[in-house]
Amino acid sequence: MKTIRTHLSLIILCLTFLLCFKVHSQKEVKKVRIYKVWVELTNKTKQKGFLYAVDDKSLKIIRDLPLEKESEILIIKAEDIYQIRI
């Protein structure tokens, strides 16, 4: 009886460890949202594309998806932006 109880406890312990590792090994997949933007510049020209990145100094957009080369990124300085529509 003791051996059956010991074996059962060992099996339960092993299964618990395996399930713990399986739960922690899965990574959550975040869905990436794609925003279409229209930018009017101070010189009244208009640019449109998909929002790539934003920082303090500039807005980065790409004209076509998918992005194949880094040279396809259009960098617009913050001081040149008159209006942005998302």
3-class secondary structure per residue, the chain: CHHHHHHHHHHHHHHHHHHHHHHHHCCCCCCCCCCEEEEEECCCCEEEEEEEEECCCEEEEECCCCCCCHHHEEEEEHHHEEEEEC
pLDDT in tens, 25-38: 456 667 778 899 99
pTM of the model: 0.60
All structural domains of the chain with their residue ranges: 36-85
Confidence category of residue 84, pLDDT binned at 50, 70, 90: very high
What is the mean predicted confidence (pLDDT) over 4-9? 76
**CATH number of the structural domain 36-85:** 2.30.30.100
